Structure 1
Amino acid sequence: SILGFSDEADKLAVEVMMHQYYRYSLALNELNDLLMLLFNEIIIDSQQPQQISSINQHFQRCNDYLEIKQPDLFEHTPSAMLEVFYTLACDDSLKGVRANTIRALRDNRHAIDDNFRSDPDNIRSFMAIIRNPQHLVRELGRMLRYGILGQYIPEFGGIIGHMQHDLFHSYTIDQHSLRAIKFMRKLRFDEHKETFPQASKLIDRISKKDILYLAALLHDVGKALPGEHEITGSEIAHNFCIHHGLGQIDADLVVWLVRNHLLFSQASQRIDIADPDAMHHFATQIGDRRHLEYLYVFSVADIYSTNKKLWTSWRAEQMRTLYKATRNILRRGLDNPVNKEQWVEEIQQSVIERLKAHGYQEQEVFNLWANPGDEYFLRESVDTLVWHALALFDHGSSDKPLVLISDTSDVTFEGATQVFIYMKNQPHLFAAMTAALDQLHLNIQDARIITSQNNNALDTYIVLDENGEPISEPARLKKIKITLEKTLANPAEYSELIQRRTSRQLKQFEFKPIVNLSNDPFNKRSCLEVIAPDRPGLLARMGKLFMEYELSLDTAKILTEGEKVDDIFYLKDKNGQPISDPDFCRELQDAVIETLTEQVELQATL
């Protein structure tokens, strides 16, 4: 027990404490609103004559504040409580609510029960607020502060003040939900159109924005209940939509968004976008362009309103790329998948045509590539392949490692910095590269490991700096290049490079690593997923482990979420096949857990 709080079945003691803290904070905000309005009315406005005019049968305007005409209005007409917020949403000239009206709301909000929620007039009033074109977010926030929103949607009331003790979620769940709606509304403004061009373009095309707002309001209500919150939340959303008279098509879309609100963001970090089979499977999950557009906008809003730091330039690029690739598949039709071999051939011919302008012939180009496999051409763009080829022709037969750092990354285009290395493949290569990049304070977002038929490594690492941005300073780019060339000259000595300390903040979060091993049916390889505390040197330790177990790495998807990493490694055994021996699988999983635990313990001593 800490400060009188203890761990519960689904909450840490600190989460219980902070839940209570935020609840009290909300109550104090309500009291503060009431007192400040009261002081204003008694002290400041008392010096001036009251200007009162009727708004409707229930409300009047008093010095530009909404006021109930009768003190007992909500007692005999409870439905007028929702009318307060609808009236405010529709009238720009009203500054807020009079103190006596707030007191009346506080005293009568207990009357919002099942009978109240089933009243057609109240249902119409709530949906009118949701569909208000001007002040939806402001009035939802006011409803939250005055205890009306949580009373009207009890499941939402359960998440008010609910927080998660991690570095991933910056806000309580209720505030996150309202911020997501606010973000969607702001996509219309020029500032957001520049930062979120694709989402801003789509929001103008979406006619029924209330579907997005309802999904945002309800998408996390399941977090206060047992079970997977997406499934629980979708069941709540289904009942809510039917109860509130949404048509079947619109209700189905709200439910689908709530159930799948993590699908797009997770796929953008995990799926191999260059893999036609994996992309076709994802497009099948989406179904059609309408669902794609709604889910893309929702996913951007969900990520940004969870934690602004999560919206890195690389994540933005991945999200947009996945959206466009999925849109193209849906345009072509799910019954007309891409022919992988034809796609590779078209890419190769496009590169060869570009290289002919530099004086290189087709056979020279194929000799240079030395059959790196289809994955190389599927994962890289034509521009990148041309860039690689020109550098490799210049490099010639030199035995020195070639290190290229892309200078095309630009914050304006929300990209990342691309590091390409070419040299004879060696067992320590991945471990040495990840250790060196870690020591340079670079965060790896993606690793594409390619080995040609003549045992040359053509590896690409996508990196961001410690602030989640591409590297643009010439001096730093030069330092990175020199450091990597020195490291790759003798990769077996990589272990000496792991010296960076764990921040004091990250040291507060420790948990046992989680390791899952499965087989990828599309590409005949094994998929190793690792969830562990974020610590410097983890990737280097993983690289060493792969070397010890004679595993070859195809691709790595690196994802850091707050205090933890959720990395995926696509592996093959020494025979180029998926890992199939059950005993070997268990041994590998145990070794990964032991290795990562040792790294966490080592960092704790630094």
Structure 2
Amino acid sequence: MKKLAIPNQRQVIDRRGLAEAIGAIHAEQGDKGRKAIVALLRDALEGGRAELAKRLEAKPSAGHDCCAGHAFLVDQIVRLLHDHVVERVYPPGNRSSGERLSIMAVGGYGRAEMAPHSDVDIAFLTPTRRAPWCEQVIEAMLYFLWDLGLKVGHSSRTPDDVVRMAKEDLTIRTALLEGRYVWGDQELYEEVRRRFWADVAHGSEREFLTEKLEERNARHKRMGDTRYVVEPNVKDGKGGLRDLHTLYWIGKYIHKVRVAAELVDVGLFTAKEYRSFRRAEGFMLAVRCHLHTITNRPEDRLTFDLQRQVAERMNFADRTGKSAVERFMQFYFLQAKRVGSLTGVFLAHIDEQFAQKRARRGFLAGFKARPRDHKGYRVFGGRIAAPSDDWFRKDPVRLIEIFQIAEADGFEIHPETMRQADRDSGLIKAEVQNDPRANALFLDLLAGRNDPETVLRWMNEAGVFGKFVPDFGKVNAQMQFDMYHHYTVDEHTIRAIGLLAKIEQGELVEDHPRSTRLIHRIASRRALYVAVLLHDIAKGRGGDHSVLGGEVAERLCPRFGLTDGETGLVAWLVRQHLLMSATAFKRDLTDPKTIEDFVGEVQSLERLRNLLILTAVDIRAVGPGVWNSWKRQLLGNLYDAAQERLRLGHMRHGRDQMVAAKKTAVAAVLGYQAGLIEKFTKVFTDAYWIAEPEDVIERNLVQYAQVRGRNGKLSVHCEFYPARGATLVSVIAADHPGLFYRIAGGIHLAGANIIDARIHTTRNGWAVDNFLVQDPLGKPFREDGQLVRIEKSIADALANRIELAPQLARRPLPRSRAKAFEVQPRAIFDNSASNRFTVIEVNARDRPALLNRLARSLFESQLVVHSAHITAYGERAADTFYVTDLLGQKITAPDRLAAIENALLEAASDQRQAELEEA
């Protein structure tokens, strides 16, 4: 956007020397020298790129220099080719007035912003159509450019074409807006430029603004509609380069600015804001150049596997609690956030300028509407504004007050006031942070009844949030380098607060029916909102963020004005905010010890209600698709069991009563087939009757009756199970050693992921195993063909018709980017979590058939798996097994436990995976 002088240009490319060399080749070889000329220019292009790559390595943040250098390099190549073709290949002789040619760079090339592998966008301008000499020159130049390996976007147009097509097509209009003279007939270029402004741009400014913003919004939606996605697109993502370009395009189109610096002169940016603009642009251009250099292709997505490499190239280093890649990405998101702030200010000013023009020209041109006073502020057109430039300096508490009023009364904040808040946010010192009025206002905003999410995001954009709550400022734009979390910590937190508000307003009753009921029964809604704010506040500090966050809560809650009781509740919720999900997803909820341990930690119904709601919004705010009906069901089951235990002081029914109640409920579901219960009542164990829900038992009994009735040895049944958002796979077979790992292998080979497994053995030696499975994207299988494929794959695995290990090893990991992460395998043994079983939790990198390998390892260690609980956190899997030895006893001997641990770690290791793939 700003023309840069390229230092030591001849080290990049020596045009004069190359021109002489091209002339010499042509003089010696004539038209046969074409191949030699291409080779000469290709070497020059590669040499120039190598020189620019070396400069980028020496100054890894010099994005403007690198991009300008690549544009300069291409300019010289294009000029050399033009001169060679015009002077030697198709010398013009006595040219007519129609045989003139101008070369104009457009798009990114026109801005002189080219990453190493950017397209070369060229418009060839000619006075008339179908001028034979012009067509020959253009064709010859294009063949040279293609032979050099450049990806060329080109057009050939007359001035009339330019005007007509630019009026019709926004993309063409935008590309021409950035047109830059490269070489050839300059008078022709100037004519096109003059006509563009006079015939195309004039009078269409409002239309261009509207279309550009619509285009931007559509692009944001395509890219995830937030600047805080953890694998951002540097070019097209929200807060990326294209957003900066959009500001420049709009400013140039409306105010005819030549370079971005002139946006200051026309009042759209302050000098300080323009410096921020340039810093953000320079950093993102540098990131894009590094991406192109690393991948050797036009790559604009900052994926996990590339983030680490770019961070290293840009000299980011590890710090306590934060890796180099996390520090790099935090800096990236701070720049993206700045782009968002600048965009808001810029567009609001443009809108105001148009509004002023309309007012001056309209029927009410002589009438000036007056803003009204509202609590000392000016309100006009739904916007609240500070009444003077020194408003916040006179009383910095107003920096909190204005956001609270905006949330409570439904106002937007005027862009000039946002700019003032950003400028004056540094006034928030300890005195303001500890001011009771400021804290009361903040608490009212945080627990606002209208839209706290949006206003807190504005507060964060203005830099006020992080200054008033410095602990929140520390997690501003901070990402977690994993595949589970979709957003930065601050964005995740603000989204969670928004979800809490929506639950309270009854907007999410379908997805969160329990939470919607319970939120109106909690003792302190403001304590819950504070707990959501603080639950991840200590991430990135090193150590357990839950424990450290509890300490932050104990310090901050009294400052916010919470009572001792509320402070104790918030601190407990922050410390234990992962307890409910870990219990629900990793433990057997039919084991009484699971409920006893959970209740022993929770201790009260008030804590339980708050914890359920916090857990729900925390999971859902992780990212799209993370919350599902299966998780809702598990959390609901745990809540119901814990509530009963807390309310009554004991479980309502003993084991015999629970089994009898379950059989009665199943009989109602079975209807005319209720006799199956009496027939098989002694075949199925009490543990089975307690563990399985009524509808699954009904299916199992019918399936068991069918397979036994035909004297079969195996029955596999699959069906979509909407109650859990998954596919239910029921396998009934004569029990034998290794059955579980073979079933798991068959399911994996069919392309399915197991999310839960319940393994039962009947008293007469039959296995009745129920699995819930989903596809790699967390969706259920529904189509008949998919269900048949799973059934056949399991049957083949159990009949030894396929070799499981080599076939499973060859299956690609659905998310291959998981290889970018280091996940150290761990096996944790717990003999206190259950009265009957040893509980083993294995954490490892998620990969094809991990469950199959772990189950096989347990089988080879002579263990019996009674239930398995499978949880995925992005690239990390956490698989939990309830096991006994062959005699039904817990495993307690230290040497035995050590041997099992070694076997599991080997099965889970990357080295073992590599060996299987080679085999």
What is the TM-score with the length of structure 1 in the denominator? 0.91
Q: In the alignment, which residue of structure 2 is the partner of 1:59?
A: 377
Q: How far did residue 262 of structure 1 move?
A: 1.0
Cα distance in 1 for partners of 2:406, 2:669 equals 62
**Is it true that 1:270 corresponds to 2:586 in the alignment?**
yes
Q: In the alignment, which residue of structure 2 is the partner of 1:572?
A: 884
Q: In the alignment, which residue of structure 2 is the partner of 1:329?
A: 645
Residues 247-279 of structure 1 deviation map (CA, whole Å, 9 limit, x = unaligned): 233332222221221111111102211122322
Cα distance in 1 for partners of 2:526, 2:695 equals 41
Cα distance in 1 for partners of 2:604, 2:914 equals 48
Residues 351-395 of structure 1 deviation map (CA, whole Å, 9 limit, x = unaligned): 57887953748763245x1xx533212211233323322322222
Unmatched runs of 5 consecutive residues or more in structure 1: none
Distance 1:320 1:491, change over 3 A: farther
Residues 150-195 of structure 1 deviation map (CA, whole Å, 9 limit, x = unaligned): 0000100000011011110000000000000111222356762223
Q: In the alignment, which residue of structure 2 is the partner of 1:511?
A: 823
Q: How far did residue 432 of structure 1 move?
A: 1.1
Alignment of 1:106-145 (within 5 A): 106-145=422-461
Cα distance in 2 for partners of 1:318, 1:18 equals 34
Cα distance in 1 for partners of 2:819, 2:859 equals 28
- In structure 2, give the amino acid aligned to 1:463: V
**Is it true that 1:600 corresponds to 2:913 in the alignment?**
yes
Cα contact 2:577–2:614 (8 A) shared by 1: yes
**Is it true that 1:97 corresponds to 2:407 in the alignment?**
no
- In structure 2, give the amino acid aligned to 1:595: A
Alignment of 1:120-269 (within 5 A): 120-187=436-503, 192-206=508-522, 208-269=524-585
Q: In the alignment, which residue of structure 2 is the partner of 1:340?
A: 655
Cα distance in 1 for partners of 2:358, 2:382 equals 16
- In structure 2, give the amino acid aligned to 1:155: D
Q: How far did residue 564 of structure 1 move?
A: 1.0
Cα distance in 2 for partners of 1:552, 1:252 equals 43
Residues 550-582 of structure 1 deviation map (CA, whole Å, 9 limit, x = unaligned): 111111111111001011112212322111221
Distance 1:98 1:375, change over 3 A: same
Cα distance in 2 for partners of 1:131, 1:520 equals 40
- In structure 2, give the amino acid aligned to 1:344: V
Cα contact 2:595–2:642 (8 A) shared by 1: yes
Cα contact 2:344–2:415 (8 A) shared by 1: no
Cα distance in 1 for partners of 2:451, 2:667 equals 56
**Is it true that 1:290 corresponds to 2:606 in the alignment?**
yes
After superposing the two structures, state which structure 1 stretch, 446-455 or 200-209, moved more: 200-209
Q: How far did residue 490 of structure 1 move?
A: 3.1
**Is it true that 1:560 corresponds to 2:877 in the alignment?**
no
**Is it true that 1:466 corresponds to 2:782 in the alignment?**
no
- In structure 1, give the amino acid aligned to 2:708: G
Residues 182-222 of structure 1 deviation map (CA, whole Å, 9 limit, x = unaligned): 11222356762223333333334447433222111111111
**Is it true that 1:69 corresponds to 2:387 in the alignment?**
yes
Distance 1:238 1:338, change over 3 A: farther
After superposing the two structures, state which structure 1 stretch, 264-273 or 39-48, moved more: 39-48
Q: How far did residue 481 of structure 1 move?
A: 2.2
Q: How far did residue 45 of structure 1 move?
A: 2.6
Q: In the alignment, which residue of structure 2 is the partner of 1:306?
A: 622
Cα distance in 1 for partners of 2:466, 2:675 equals 69
Cα distance in 1 for partners of 2:485, 2:535 equals 15
Distance 1:440 1:108, change over 3 A: same
Q: In the alignment, which residue of structure 1 is the partner of 2:129?
A: none
Q: In the alignment, which residue of structure 2 is the partner of 1:81?
A: 399
Q: In the alignment, which residue of structure 1 is the partner of 2:798?
A: 488
Unmatched runs of 5 consecutive residues or more in structure 2: 1-311, 360-366
Which of these two proteins has the greater Rg computed from alpha carbons? 2
Cα distance in 2 for partners of 1:188, 1:448 equals 36
Cα contact 1:401–1:489 (8 A) shared by 2: no
Q: In the alignment, which residue of structure 2 is the partner of 1:400?
A: 713
Distance 1:231 1:152, change over 3 A: same
Cα contact 1:537–1:599 (8 A) shared by 2: no
Cα distance in 2 for partners of 1:95, 1:346 equals 57
SS of the counterpart of 2:567? helix
Distance 1:179 1:341, change over 3 A: same
Alignment of 1:437-456 (within 5 A): 437-456=747-766
Cα contact 1:270–1:557 (8 A) shared by 2: yes
Residues 427-456 of structure 1 deviation map (CA, whole Å, 9 limit, x = unaligned): 221121111111112111111122234332
Q: How far did residue 596 of structure 1 move?
A: 1.7
Residues 287-321 of structure 1 deviation map (CA, whole Å, 9 limit, x = unaligned): 23322222212111110101222213322221222
Pairing partner for 2:789 from 464, 469, 479: 479
Q: How far did residue 465 of structure 1 move?
A: 2.5
Cα contact 2:846–2:877 (8 A) shared by 1: yes
Cα contact 1:160–1:173 (8 A) shared by 2: yes
Q: How far did residue 496 of structure 1 move?
A: 5.1
Aligned residues: 597
Aligned residues: CA RMSD:
2.7
Q: In the alignment, which residue of structure 1 is the partner of 2:326?
A: 15
Q: How far did residue 604 of structure 1 move?
A: 7.1
Cα distance in 1 for partners of 2:376, 2:668 equals 75
Cα distance in 2 for partners of 1:341, 1:472 equals 37
Q: In the alignment, which residue of structure 2 is the partner of 1:418?
A: 728
